[in-house]
Amino acid sequence: MDGTADFFRWLAEAHRIDVSIAYDPLDRKRFLIGLWTTIWLSGVCIGSSILVGLIGAWLHGARSAAARGAVQVFVQFFRNTPPLVQLAFFYFAVSAALPPVTDRFGASVPLIDNVGWAIVSFSLFAGAFNVEIFRSGIEAVPRATVEAAESLGYTRLAAYRHVVLPLAFRVCLPALGNNLVNLVKTTTLAYAIGVPELLYAASQVWSEVFNVREMMVVLLLTYVALVAVLVHGLRRWERAMRIPGYSA
Amino acid sequence: MSALAVLLPRQPAAVGSEWGAARMPSALRSRKTIAALAILGAVWTAAAWAAAPVDRPSVLALAVKWAPLIFGGFLFNLLVSVAAMALGTAAGVLLGLAQISLLRPVQAASWAVTQFFRNAPWLVLLFFAMFLLPFEWRIGGVTVPFPAWLKAMLGLALPVLANVSEIVRGGVLSIPLGQWESAESLAFSRRQILWRIILPQAVKRMIPPWMNLYAILTMATTLISVVGIQDAMTLTRGALVAEARTDLYLPLYFMLLLMFFAYCYPIARYTQVLERRFAVRG
Protein backbone atom coordinates (compact mmCIF):
# COMPACT_ATOMS: atom_id res chain seq x y z
CA MET A 1 0.00 0.00 0.00
CA ASP A 2 2.86 2.35 0.88
CA GLY A 3 4.51 1.67 -2.43
CA THR A 4 1.32 2.55 -4.28
CA ALA A 5 0.90 5.75 -2.28
CA ASP A 6 4.51 6.70 -2.98
CA PHE A 7 4.02 6.07 -6.67
CA PHE A 8 0.98 8.36 -6.84
CA ARG A 9 2.74 11.01 -4.77
CA TRP A 10 5.60 10.89 -7.24
CA LEU A 11 3.12 11.04 -10.15
CA ALA A 12 1.55 14.17 -8.65
CA GLU A 13 4.89 15.89 -8.12
CA ALA A 14 6.72 14.87 -11.25
CA HIS A 15 3.92 14.78 -13.82
CA ARG A 16 1.13 16.81 -12.20
CA ILE A 17 -1.23 13.87 -12.40
CA ASP A 18 -2.77 14.28 -8.99
CA VAL A 19 -4.85 11.27 -7.99
CA SER A 20 -5.09 12.54 -4.42
CA ILE A 21 -7.40 9.75 -3.25
CA ALA A 22 -4.54 7.28 -3.80
CA TYR A 23 -2.20 8.85 -1.23
CA ASP A 24 -4.15 11.33 0.88
CA PRO A 25 -5.94 9.47 3.72
CA LEU A 26 -8.65 12.15 4.12
CA ASP A 27 -9.49 12.24 0.42
CA ARG A 28 -9.43 8.46 0.25
CA LYS A 29 -11.82 8.20 3.19
CA ARG A 30 -14.19 10.72 1.63
CA PHE A 31 -14.15 8.88 -1.66
CA LEU A 32 -14.72 5.49 -0.04
CA ILE A 33 -17.60 6.86 2.03
CA GLY A 34 -19.08 8.27 -1.19
CA LEU A 35 -18.62 4.93 -2.93
CA TRP A 36 -20.26 3.10 -0.05
CA THR A 37 -23.16 5.59 0.00
CA THR A 38 -23.74 5.07 -3.71
CA ILE A 39 -23.66 1.28 -3.34
CA TRP A 40 -25.92 1.36 -0.31
CA LEU A 41 -28.35 3.85 -1.90
CA SER A 42 -28.46 1.80 -5.10
CA GLY A 43 -29.10 -1.41 -3.15
CA VAL A 44 -31.95 0.05 -1.12
CA CYS A 45 -33.51 1.67 -4.19
CA ILE A 46 -33.22 -1.54 -6.23
CA GLY A 47 -35.03 -3.47 -3.50
CA SER A 48 -37.79 -0.96 -2.95
CA SER A 49 -38.28 -0.24 -6.65
CA ILE A 50 -38.81 -3.96 -7.28
CA LEU A 51 -41.34 -3.93 -4.44
CA VAL A 52 -43.11 -0.93 -6.00
CA GLY A 53 -43.09 -2.75 -9.34
CA LEU A 54 -44.57 -5.94 -7.87
CA ILE A 55 -47.31 -4.08 -6.01
CA GLY A 56 -48.09 -2.02 -9.10
CA ALA A 57 -48.22 -5.06 -11.38
CA TRP A 58 -50.46 -6.84 -8.88
CA LEU A 59 -52.81 -3.84 -8.60
CA HIS A 60 -52.85 -3.59 -12.37
CA GLY A 61 -54.45 -7.02 -12.51
CA ALA A 62 -57.00 -6.06 -9.85
CA ARG A 63 -60.71 -6.09 -10.60
CA SER A 64 -61.25 -2.55 -9.37
CA ALA A 65 -61.15 -0.10 -12.24
CA ALA A 66 -60.06 2.66 -9.88
CA ALA A 67 -56.98 0.68 -8.77
CA ARG A 68 -56.01 -0.02 -12.39
CA GLY A 69 -56.56 3.60 -13.32
CA ALA A 70 -54.47 4.79 -10.39
CA VAL A 71 -51.59 2.48 -11.35
CA GLN A 72 -51.75 3.74 -14.95
CA VAL A 73 -51.66 7.38 -13.82
CA PHE A 74 -48.74 6.65 -11.48
CA VAL A 75 -46.75 4.78 -14.11
CA GLN A 76 -47.29 7.29 -16.91
CA PHE A 77 -46.64 10.27 -14.71
CA PHE A 78 -43.37 9.00 -13.26
CA ARG A 79 -42.12 7.66 -16.58
CA ASN A 80 -42.71 10.89 -18.46
CA THR A 81 -41.40 13.53 -16.08
CA PRO A 82 -37.74 14.34 -15.30
CA PRO A 83 -36.39 12.41 -12.29
CA LEU A 84 -34.52 15.52 -11.15
CA VAL A 85 -37.74 17.54 -10.96
CA GLN A 86 -39.41 14.63 -9.18
CA LEU A 87 -36.60 14.69 -6.64
CA ALA A 88 -36.95 18.46 -6.16
CA PHE A 89 -40.71 18.06 -5.93
CA PHE A 90 -40.33 15.58 -3.08
CA TYR A 91 -37.40 17.17 -1.31
CA PHE A 92 -38.49 20.81 -1.46
CA ALA A 93 -42.26 20.78 -1.97
CA VAL A 94 -43.66 17.64 -0.32
CA SER A 95 -41.14 17.95 2.51
CA ALA A 96 -42.28 21.53 3.20
CA ALA A 97 -45.90 20.39 3.29
CA LEU A 98 -45.22 17.69 5.88
CA PRO A 99 -45.16 18.64 9.57
CA PRO A 100 -41.63 18.89 11.04
CA VAL A 101 -40.64 16.73 14.00
CA THR A 102 -38.50 17.53 16.99
CA ASP A 103 -35.25 15.62 17.34
CA ARG A 104 -33.67 14.61 20.64
CA PHE A 105 -31.88 17.93 20.98
CA GLY A 106 -35.17 19.80 20.71
CA ALA A 107 -34.45 21.18 17.26
CA SER A 108 -37.08 21.13 14.55
CA VAL A 109 -36.06 18.81 11.71
CA PRO A 110 -37.94 17.65 8.62
CA LEU A 111 -39.80 14.37 8.92
CA ILE A 112 -37.74 12.76 6.14
CA ASP A 113 -34.17 13.89 5.38
CA ASN A 114 -32.47 14.24 2.01
CA VAL A 115 -31.31 10.59 1.90
CA GLY A 116 -34.86 9.48 2.70
CA TRP A 117 -36.34 11.57 -0.09
CA ALA A 118 -33.71 10.35 -2.54
CA ILE A 119 -34.73 6.77 -1.73
CA VAL A 120 -38.46 7.56 -2.05
CA SER A 121 -38.02 9.48 -5.28
CA PHE A 122 -35.71 7.01 -7.07
CA SER A 123 -37.76 4.02 -5.92
CA LEU A 124 -40.95 5.50 -7.35
CA PHE A 125 -39.19 6.53 -10.57
CA ALA A 126 -37.60 3.14 -11.20
CA GLY A 127 -40.66 1.40 -9.73
CA ALA A 128 -42.89 2.96 -12.40
CA PHE A 129 -40.72 1.33 -15.06
CA ASN A 130 -40.71 -1.95 -13.11
CA VAL A 131 -44.53 -2.04 -13.06
CA GLU A 132 -44.59 -2.05 -16.86
CA ILE A 133 -41.76 -4.59 -17.03
CA PHE A 134 -43.41 -7.04 -14.64
CA ARG A 135 -46.80 -6.57 -16.27
CA SER A 136 -45.44 -7.40 -19.72
CA GLY A 137 -43.67 -10.41 -18.22
CA ILE A 138 -46.90 -11.70 -16.68
CA GLU A 139 -48.74 -11.13 -19.95
CA ALA A 140 -46.08 -13.12 -21.79
CA VAL A 141 -47.01 -16.30 -19.90
CA PRO A 142 -49.35 -18.21 -22.22
CA ARG A 143 -52.98 -18.48 -21.16
CA ALA A 144 -52.80 -22.23 -21.74
CA THR A 145 -50.11 -22.59 -19.08
CA VAL A 146 -52.35 -20.94 -16.50
CA GLU A 147 -55.29 -23.09 -17.57
CA ALA A 148 -53.14 -26.21 -17.32
CA ALA A 149 -52.16 -25.26 -13.79
CA GLU A 150 -55.78 -24.64 -12.89
CA SER A 151 -56.83 -28.01 -14.29
CA LEU A 152 -54.24 -29.60 -12.01
CA GLY A 153 -56.12 -28.14 -9.07
CA TYR A 154 -54.01 -25.07 -8.39
CA THR A 155 -55.90 -22.21 -6.84
CA ARG A 156 -55.56 -18.84 -8.56
CA LEU A 157 -53.03 -17.62 -6.03
CA ALA A 158 -51.02 -20.84 -6.03
CA ALA A 159 -50.90 -20.87 -9.83
CA TYR A 160 -49.64 -17.34 -9.66
CA ARG A 161 -46.96 -18.14 -7.12
CA HIS A 162 -45.72 -21.45 -8.50
CA VAL A 163 -46.32 -21.11 -12.25
CA VAL A 164 -46.94 -17.60 -13.56
CA LEU A 165 -44.48 -15.55 -11.53
CA PRO A 166 -41.44 -17.86 -11.93
CA LEU A 167 -41.94 -17.87 -15.70
CA ALA A 168 -42.75 -14.14 -15.91
CA PHE A 169 -39.68 -13.28 -13.87
CA ARG A 170 -37.42 -15.09 -16.30
CA VAL A 171 -39.02 -13.31 -19.24
CA CYS A 172 -38.58 -9.85 -17.78
CA LEU A 173 -35.12 -10.27 -16.26
CA PRO A 174 -33.23 -8.61 -19.18
CA ALA A 175 -35.53 -5.56 -19.17
CA LEU A 176 -35.37 -5.43 -15.39
CA GLY A 177 -31.57 -5.51 -15.57
CA ASN A 178 -31.53 -2.53 -17.93
CA ASN A 179 -33.78 -0.57 -15.63
CA LEU A 180 -31.69 -1.37 -12.55
CA VAL A 181 -28.54 -0.23 -14.35
CA ASN A 182 -30.36 3.00 -15.11
CA LEU A 183 -31.35 3.28 -11.47
CA VAL A 184 -27.72 3.05 -10.35
CA LYS A 185 -26.87 5.83 -12.78
CA THR A 186 -29.83 7.89 -11.56
CA THR A 187 -28.51 7.87 -7.98
CA THR A 188 -26.02 10.57 -9.07
CA LEU A 189 -28.96 13.01 -9.06
CA ALA A 190 -28.90 12.83 -5.26
CA TYR A 191 -25.91 15.16 -5.60
CA ALA A 192 -28.42 17.96 -6.26
CA ILE A 193 -29.91 17.64 -2.78
CA GLY A 194 -26.60 17.16 -1.00
CA VAL A 195 -26.57 13.41 -0.39
CA PRO A 196 -22.87 12.53 0.11
CA GLU A 197 -22.71 9.92 -2.66
CA LEU A 198 -19.88 9.28 -5.08
CA LEU A 199 -20.31 12.34 -7.30
CA TYR A 200 -20.68 14.59 -4.27
CA ALA A 201 -17.57 13.12 -2.62
CA ALA A 202 -15.58 13.53 -5.84
CA SER A 203 -16.71 17.13 -6.22
CA GLN A 204 -15.59 17.84 -2.65
CA VAL A 205 -12.18 16.42 -3.43
CA TRP A 206 -11.72 18.31 -6.69
CA SER A 207 -12.87 21.63 -5.30
CA GLU A 208 -10.17 21.41 -2.64
CA VAL A 209 -7.32 19.74 -4.47
CA PHE A 210 -8.11 21.20 -7.93
CA ASN A 211 -7.68 17.85 -9.64
CA VAL A 212 -10.90 17.86 -11.67
CA ARG A 213 -9.32 16.03 -14.60
CA GLU A 214 -8.01 13.12 -12.55
CA MET A 215 -11.08 12.81 -10.34
CA MET A 216 -13.35 12.90 -13.39
CA VAL A 217 -11.52 9.94 -14.90
CA VAL A 218 -11.64 8.08 -11.58
CA LEU A 219 -15.34 8.87 -11.26
CA LEU A 220 -16.24 7.69 -14.76
CA LEU A 221 -14.20 4.50 -14.36
CA THR A 222 -15.79 3.81 -10.96
CA TYR A 223 -19.31 4.14 -12.35
CA VAL A 224 -18.51 2.03 -15.39
CA ALA A 225 -17.04 -0.59 -13.02
CA LEU A 226 -20.11 -0.49 -10.75
CA VAL A 227 -22.43 -0.95 -13.71
CA ALA A 228 -20.22 -3.71 -15.10
CA VAL A 229 -20.39 -5.61 -11.79
CA LEU A 230 -24.18 -5.26 -11.73
CA VAL A 231 -24.54 -6.34 -15.36
CA HIS A 232 -22.24 -9.31 -14.77
CA GLY A 233 -24.19 -10.36 -11.69
CA LEU A 234 -27.52 -10.09 -13.49
CA ARG A 235 -26.23 -12.07 -16.44
CA ARG A 236 -24.98 -14.85 -14.18
CA TRP A 237 -28.29 -14.88 -12.38
CA GLU A 238 -30.15 -15.04 -15.67
CA ARG A 239 -28.03 -18.00 -16.75
CA ALA A 240 -28.50 -19.75 -13.41
CA MET A 241 -32.28 -19.39 -13.65
CA ARG A 242 -32.52 -20.54 -17.24
CA ILE A 243 -34.96 -23.38 -17.79
CA PRO A 244 -33.74 -25.72 -20.53
CA GLY A 245 -36.10 -25.61 -23.48
CA TYR A 246 -37.86 -22.49 -22.29
CA SER A 247 -36.40 -19.47 -23.99
CA ALA A 248 -37.80 -16.06 -23.37
CA MET B 1 -64.97 33.55 0.24
CA SER B 2 -66.67 33.53 -3.17
CA ALA B 3 -65.03 30.23 -4.19
CA LEU B 4 -66.19 28.68 -0.94
CA ALA B 5 -69.76 29.84 -1.48
CA VAL B 6 -69.88 28.19 -4.89
CA LEU B 7 -68.65 24.88 -3.56
CA LEU B 8 -70.55 24.70 -0.31
CA PRO B 9 -73.97 23.61 -1.65
CA ARG B 10 -72.31 20.64 -3.36
CA GLN B 11 -70.87 19.25 -0.18
CA PRO B 12 -74.03 17.66 1.26
CA ALA B 13 -74.63 15.89 -2.05
CA ALA B 14 -71.20 14.26 -1.88
CA VAL B 15 -71.78 13.14 1.69
CA GLY B 16 -75.18 11.79 0.71
CA SER B 17 -73.73 9.64 -2.06
CA GLU B 18 -71.23 8.19 0.39
CA TRP B 19 -74.14 6.98 2.54
CA GLY B 20 -75.72 5.08 -0.28
CA ALA B 21 -72.42 3.78 -1.57
CA ALA B 22 -72.46 0.48 0.33
CA ARG B 23 -75.07 -1.05 -1.95
CA MET B 24 -73.47 0.04 -5.22
CA PRO B 25 -71.22 -2.10 -7.45
CA SER B 26 -67.53 -1.62 -6.63
CA ALA B 27 -66.51 0.23 -9.81
CA LEU B 28 -69.32 2.73 -9.38
CA ARG B 29 -68.53 3.10 -5.70
CA SER B 30 -64.86 3.83 -6.38
CA ARG B 31 -65.82 6.47 -8.91
CA LYS B 32 -68.07 8.05 -6.31
CA THR B 33 -65.22 7.91 -3.83
CA ILE B 34 -62.93 9.71 -6.23
CA ALA B 35 -65.58 12.34 -6.92
CA ALA B 36 -66.12 12.79 -3.19
CA LEU B 37 -62.38 13.10 -2.60
CA ALA B 38 -62.06 15.62 -5.42
CA ILE B 39 -64.84 17.76 -4.01
CA LEU B 40 -63.38 17.50 -0.53
CA GLY B 41 -60.00 18.57 -1.91
CA ALA B 42 -61.56 21.50 -3.76
CA VAL B 43 -63.37 22.66 -0.63
CA TRP B 44 -60.16 22.33 1.38
CA THR B 45 -58.17 24.31 -1.19
CA ALA B 46 -60.85 26.99 -1.37
CA ALA B 47 -60.94 27.19 2.40
CA ALA B 48 -57.14 27.51 2.50
CA TRP B 49 -57.31 30.36 -0.01
CA ALA B 50 -60.14 32.03 1.85
CA ALA B 51 -58.24 31.71 5.13
CA ALA B 52 -55.15 33.41 3.70
CA PRO B 53 -54.79 37.10 4.59
CA VAL B 54 -56.39 39.42 2.08
CA ASP B 55 -53.19 41.36 1.31
CA ARG B 56 -51.37 38.17 0.22
CA PRO B 57 -52.05 37.07 -3.36
CA SER B 58 -53.48 33.57 -3.75
CA VAL B 59 -51.29 30.61 -4.75
CA LEU B 60 -53.14 30.34 -8.04
CA ALA B 61 -52.50 33.98 -8.87
CA LEU B 62 -48.80 33.53 -8.11
CA ALA B 63 -48.58 30.39 -10.23
CA VAL B 64 -50.21 32.23 -13.13
CA LYS B 65 -47.82 35.12 -12.61
CA TRP B 66 -44.68 32.96 -12.83
CA ALA B 67 -45.91 30.50 -15.47
CA PRO B 68 -44.74 32.51 -18.53
CA LEU B 69 -41.19 32.85 -17.19
CA ILE B 70 -40.93 29.17 -16.30
CA PHE B 71 -42.43 28.21 -19.65
CA GLY B 72 -39.75 30.31 -21.34
CA GLY B 73 -37.14 28.30 -19.44
CA PHE B 74 -38.89 25.12 -20.51
CA LEU B 75 -38.61 26.21 -24.15
CA PHE B 76 -34.87 26.62 -23.59
CA ASN B 77 -34.76 23.04 -22.28
CA LEU B 78 -36.46 21.92 -25.48
CA LEU B 79 -33.95 23.86 -27.56
CA VAL B 80 -31.08 22.16 -25.74
CA SER B 81 -32.73 18.78 -26.22
CA VAL B 82 -33.13 19.28 -29.97
CA ALA B 83 -29.55 20.49 -30.40
CA ALA B 84 -28.06 17.69 -28.29
CA MET B 85 -30.18 15.13 -30.13
CA ALA B 86 -29.07 16.40 -33.54
CA LEU B 87 -25.42 16.35 -32.51
CA GLY B 88 -25.66 13.00 -30.76
CA THR B 89 -27.52 11.39 -33.64
CA ALA B 90 -25.06 12.57 -36.27
CA ALA B 91 -22.07 11.30 -34.28
CA GLY B 92 -23.91 8.20 -33.05
CA VAL B 93 -24.83 6.98 -36.53
CA LEU B 94 -21.17 7.12 -37.55
CA LEU B 95 -20.13 5.32 -34.37
CA GLY B 96 -22.85 2.72 -34.86
CA LEU B 97 -21.74 2.02 -38.40
CA ALA B 98 -18.16 1.74 -37.15
CA GLN B 99 -19.42 -0.92 -34.74
CA ILE B 100 -20.44 -3.15 -37.66
CA SER B 101 -17.23 -2.47 -39.56
CA LEU B 102 -15.32 -5.47 -40.87
CA LEU B 103 -12.06 -3.91 -39.67
CA ARG B 104 -11.37 -5.48 -36.30
CA PRO B 105 -9.65 -2.46 -34.63
CA VAL B 106 -12.36 -0.01 -35.77
CA GLN B 107 -15.04 -2.32 -34.49
CA ALA B 108 -13.35 -2.87 -31.14
CA ALA B 109 -12.59 0.82 -30.57
CA SER B 110 -16.10 1.98 -31.43
CA TRP B 111 -17.55 -0.76 -29.24
CA ALA B 112 -15.43 0.39 -26.29
CA VAL B 113 -16.38 4.06 -26.77
CA THR B 114 -20.06 3.14 -27.01
CA GLN B 115 -20.01 1.00 -23.88
CA PHE B 116 -18.09 3.60 -21.91
CA PHE B 117 -20.43 6.49 -22.63
CA ARG B 118 -23.52 4.34 -22.39
CA ASN B 119 -22.70 3.08 -18.92
CA ALA B 120 -21.57 6.37 -17.39
CA PRO B 121 -24.23 8.44 -15.60
CA TRP B 122 -25.57 11.40 -17.61
CA LEU B 123 -24.83 13.85 -14.83
CA VAL B 124 -21.20 12.74 -14.57
CA LEU B 125 -20.77 13.12 -18.33
CA LEU B 126 -22.26 16.59 -18.09
CA PHE B 127 -19.75 17.52 -15.38
CA PHE B 128 -17.06 15.96 -17.54
CA ALA B 129 -17.92 18.27 -20.45
CA MET B 130 -18.45 21.36 -18.31
CA PHE B 131 -15.14 21.12 -16.48
CA LEU B 132 -12.81 19.61 -18.99
CA LEU B 133 -13.69 21.55 -22.12
CA PRO B 134 -11.90 24.92 -22.31
CA PHE B 135 -13.97 28.09 -21.96
CA GLU B 136 -12.44 29.48 -25.14
CA TRP B 137 -10.69 28.16 -28.22
CA ARG B 138 -7.73 29.85 -29.81
CA ILE B 139 -7.86 29.27 -33.55
CA GLY B 140 -4.91 30.99 -35.18
CA GLY B 141 -4.88 34.45 -33.62
CA VAL B 142 -8.62 34.58 -33.00
CA THR B 143 -10.08 33.67 -29.61
CA VAL B 144 -13.45 32.01 -29.94
CA PRO B 145 -15.47 31.89 -26.71
CA PHE B 146 -16.96 28.55 -25.78
CA PRO B 147 -20.02 29.37 -23.69
CA ALA B 148 -21.32 27.13 -20.93
CA TRP B 149 -24.60 26.33 -22.68
CA LEU B 150 -22.69 24.99 -25.68
CA LYS B 151 -20.59 22.80 -23.41
CA ALA B 152 -23.76 21.56 -21.75
CA MET B 153 -25.18 20.58 -25.14
CA LEU B 154 -22.01 18.65 -25.91
CA GLY B 155 -22.14 17.03 -22.48
CA LEU B 156 -25.70 15.83 -23.10
CA ALA B 157 -24.79 14.72 -26.62
CA LEU B 158 -22.18 12.26 -25.28
CA PRO B 159 -24.62 9.73 -23.78
CA VAL B 160 -26.95 10.31 -26.74
CA LEU B 161 -24.29 9.38 -29.26
CA ALA B 162 -23.48 6.16 -27.38
CA ASN B 163 -27.15 5.20 -27.22
CA VAL B 164 -27.74 6.05 -30.88
CA SER B 165 -24.71 3.94 -31.72
CA GLU B 166 -26.30 0.94 -29.99
CA ILE B 167 -29.64 1.62 -31.68
CA VAL B 168 -27.99 1.65 -35.11
CA ARG B 169 -26.04 -1.54 -34.39
CA GLY B 170 -29.14 -3.26 -33.03
CA GLY B 171 -31.24 -2.12 -35.97
CA VAL B 172 -28.76 -3.45 -38.53
CA LEU B 173 -28.36 -6.75 -36.68
CA SER B 174 -32.14 -7.18 -36.50
CA ILE B 175 -32.30 -7.58 -40.29
CA PRO B 176 -32.13 -11.30 -41.12
CA LEU B 177 -28.82 -12.58 -42.46
CA GLY B 178 -30.63 -13.92 -45.50
CA GLN B 179 -31.02 -10.36 -46.76
CA TRP B 180 -27.24 -9.92 -46.77
CA GLU B 181 -26.69 -13.27 -48.44
CA SER B 182 -29.26 -12.81 -51.18
CA ALA B 183 -27.93 -9.31 -51.91
CA GLU B 184 -24.42 -10.71 -52.11
CA SER B 185 -25.57 -13.38 -54.52
CA LEU B 186 -26.93 -10.57 -56.70
CA ALA B 187 -23.41 -9.10 -56.76
CA PHE B 188 -24.08 -6.01 -54.66
CA SER B 189 -21.01 -4.61 -52.97
CA ARG B 190 -20.95 -4.36 -49.17
CA ARG B 191 -21.55 -0.62 -49.27
CA GLN B 192 -24.46 -1.02 -51.67
CA ILE B 193 -26.00 -3.74 -49.52
CA LEU B 194 -25.75 -1.55 -46.45
CA TRP B 195 -27.12 1.63 -47.98
CA ARG B 196 -29.68 0.25 -50.40
CA ILE B 197 -30.96 -2.89 -48.72
CA ILE B 198 -30.18 -3.15 -45.02
CA LEU B 199 -30.39 0.44 -43.74
CA PRO B 200 -33.73 1.35 -45.39
CA GLN B 201 -35.30 -1.59 -43.58
CA ALA B 202 -33.37 -1.05 -40.35
CA VAL B 203 -34.26 2.65 -40.05
CA LYS B 204 -37.90 1.72 -39.48
CA ARG B 205 -36.92 -0.36 -36.49
CA MET B 206 -34.56 2.30 -35.18
CA ILE B 207 -37.17 5.06 -35.04
CA PRO B 208 -39.14 3.90 -31.95
CA PRO B 209 -36.07 3.48 -29.68
CA TRP B 210 -34.65 6.72 -31.09
CA MET B 211 -37.82 8.59 -30.11
CA ASN B 212 -37.71 6.95 -26.72
CA LEU B 213 -34.14 8.21 -26.34
CA TYR B 214 -35.27 11.70 -27.29
CA ALA B 215 -37.89 11.68 -24.53
CA ILE B 216 -35.24 10.54 -22.04
CA LEU B 217 -32.91 13.30 -23.25
CA THR B 218 -35.61 15.94 -22.91
CA MET B 219 -36.13 14.91 -19.31
CA ALA B 220 -32.36 14.86 -18.76
CA THR B 221 -31.98 18.47 -19.94
CA THR B 222 -33.02 19.57 -16.43
CA LEU B 223 -29.59 18.34 -15.32
CA ILE B 224 -28.03 21.48 -16.78
CA SER B 225 -29.51 23.39 -13.85
CA VAL B 226 -27.17 21.39 -11.58
CA VAL B 227 -24.11 22.71 -13.42
CA GLY B 228 -25.35 26.29 -13.23
CA ILE B 229 -27.16 26.99 -16.49
CA GLN B 230 -30.45 28.83 -16.28
CA ASP B 231 -33.24 26.53 -17.38
CA ALA B 232 -36.84 25.89 -16.30
CA MET B 233 -35.66 24.24 -13.08
CA THR B 234 -33.43 27.19 -12.11
CA LEU B 235 -36.20 29.66 -12.88
CA THR B 236 -38.70 27.69 -10.80
CA ARG B 237 -36.32 27.76 -7.86
CA GLY B 238 -35.71 31.48 -8.45
CA ALA B 239 -39.43 32.20 -8.44
CA LEU B 240 -39.83 30.29 -5.18
CA VAL B 241 -36.97 32.20 -3.58
CA ALA B 242 -38.42 35.51 -4.79
CA GLU B 243 -41.87 34.79 -3.35
CA ALA B 244 -40.67 33.07 -0.15
CA ARG B 245 -43.96 31.25 0.27
CA THR B 246 -43.85 27.62 1.37
CA ASP B 247 -47.39 26.99 0.10
CA LEU B 248 -46.18 27.83 -3.41
CA TYR B 249 -43.61 24.97 -3.55
CA LEU B 250 -46.05 22.17 -4.41
CA PRO B 251 -48.00 24.01 -7.16
CA LEU B 252 -44.93 25.42 -8.93
CA TYR B 253 -42.94 22.17 -8.99
CA PHE B 254 -46.08 20.32 -10.02
CA MET B 255 -46.57 22.81 -12.85
CA LEU B 256 -43.02 22.13 -14.04
CA LEU B 257 -43.63 18.38 -13.91
CA LEU B 258 -46.81 18.87 -15.94
CA MET B 259 -44.96 20.85 -18.64
CA PHE B 260 -42.56 17.95 -19.16
CA PHE B 261 -45.38 15.44 -18.98
CA ALA B 262 -47.39 17.30 -21.61
CA TYR B 263 -44.38 17.12 -23.95
CA CYS B 264 -43.03 13.63 -23.22
CA TYR B 265 -46.25 11.64 -22.81
CA PRO B 266 -47.46 12.16 -26.41
CA ILE B 267 -44.00 11.14 -27.64
CA ALA B 268 -44.17 7.98 -25.55
CA ARG B 269 -47.65 7.15 -26.87
CA TYR B 270 -46.66 7.74 -30.47
CA THR B 271 -43.54 5.60 -29.93
CA GLN B 272 -45.78 2.74 -28.81
CA VAL B 273 -47.97 3.15 -31.88
CA LEU B 274 -44.92 3.03 -34.17
CA GLU B 275 -43.49 0.06 -32.27
CA ARG B 276 -46.67 -1.86 -32.88
CA ARG B 277 -46.76 -0.85 -36.53
CA PHE B 278 -43.14 -1.83 -37.21
CA ALA B 279 -43.21 -4.96 -35.06
CA VAL B 280 -41.63 -8.02 -36.64
CA ARG B 281 -44.37 -10.53 -37.27
CA GLY B 282 -43.24 -13.82 -35.86
Q: Which residues of B touch A181 (CB under 8 A)?
A: 119
Answer whether A205's CB lies under 8 Å from A21's CB: yes
Q: Flag the least confident range among B1-15, B36-50, B239-253, B264-278.
A: B1-15
Q: How far is A240 from chain B (nearest CA, A)?
A: 24
A191 within a domain of the structure (yes/no): yes
Taking CB atoms and an 8 Å limit, are B119 and A82 in contact across chains?
A: no
Taking CB atoms and an 8 Å limit, are B240 and A92 in contact across chains?
A: yes
Q: Can you tell me the distance from the alpha carbon of A54 to that of A47, in angstroms, rounded to the nearest whole number?
A: 11
CATH number for position A217: 1.10.3720.10
What is the structure's pLDDT at B19?
A: 37
Q: How far is B216 from chain A (nearest CA, A)?
A: 8
Q: Which residues of A touch B237 (CB under 8 A)?
A: 88
Number of compact structural domains in chain A: 1
Taking CB atoms and an 8 Å limit, are A216 and B128 in contact across chains?
A: yes
Regions of chain A short of the pLDDT cut 70 = 1, 246-248
Q: Which residues contact A15 (CB under 8 A, 6 or more apart)?
A: none
Taking CB atoms and an 8 Å limit, are B128 and A191 in contact across chains?
A: no
Q: Can you tell me the distance from the alpha carbon of A237 to that of A247, in angstroms, rounded to the nearest whole number?
A: 15
Task: Give the pLDDT band (50/70/90) at residue B43.
Answer: low
Return the closest-CA partner of residue A89 out of B26, B56, B4, B257: B257
Taking CB atoms and an 8 Å limit, are B123 and A77 in contact across chains?
A: no
A5 within a domain of the structure (yes/no): no
A124 within a domain of the structure (yes/no): yes
Nearest to A199 among B123, B215, B225 (CB): B123
A245 within a domain of the structure (yes/no): no
Taking CB atoms and an 8 Å limit, are A64 and B257 in contact across chains?
A: no
Q: Give me the domain span that covers residue A123.
A: 41-240
A55 within a domain of the structure (yes/no): yes
Please state which of the four CATH numbers 1.10.3720.10, 1.10.10.10, 1.10.287.3510, 3.40.50.80 is assigned to the domain occupying B59-278.
1.10.3720.10
Is residue A5 less than 8 Å (CB to CB) from chain B?
no
What is the structure's pLDDT at A214?
A: 87
Task: Give the pLDDT band (50/70/90) at residue B58.
Answer: confident
Is residue A88 less than 8 Å (CB to CB) from chain B?
yes
Q: What is the pLDDT of residues A72-90, one digit of tens each?
A: 999 999 999 999 999 999 9
pTM above 0.80, yes or no: yes
Q: Can you tell me the distance from the alpha carbon of B74 to that of B80, in angstroms, rounded to the nearest whole number?
A: 10
A204 within a domain of the structure (yes/no): yes
A163 within a domain of the structure (yes/no): yes
What is the structure's pLDDT at B29?
A: 47
Is residue A79 less than 8 Å (CB to CB) from chain B?
yes
% helix / strand / coil in chain A, to the nearest 5? 80, 0, 20
Q: What is the pLDDT of residues B61-79, one digit of tens each?
A: 888 889 999 999 999 999 9
Q: What is the pLDDT of residues B96-134, one digit of tens each?
A: 999 998 899 999 999 999 999 998 999 999 999 998 888
Name the residue ranges covered by the structural domains of chain B.
2-51, 59-278
Chain B residues with CB under 8 Å of a chain A CB are 26-27, 30-31, 33-34, 115-116, 119-125, 127-128, 131-132, 215, 219-223, 225-226, 233, 236-237, 240, 246, 249-250, 252-254, 256-257, 260-261, 264-265, 268
Q: What is the dihedral of CA A8, A11, A12, A17, to 10 degrees?
A: -100
- Where does B186-280 have alpha helices with state H? 190-192, 199-220, 232-243, 249-278
A132 within a domain of the structure (yes/no): yes
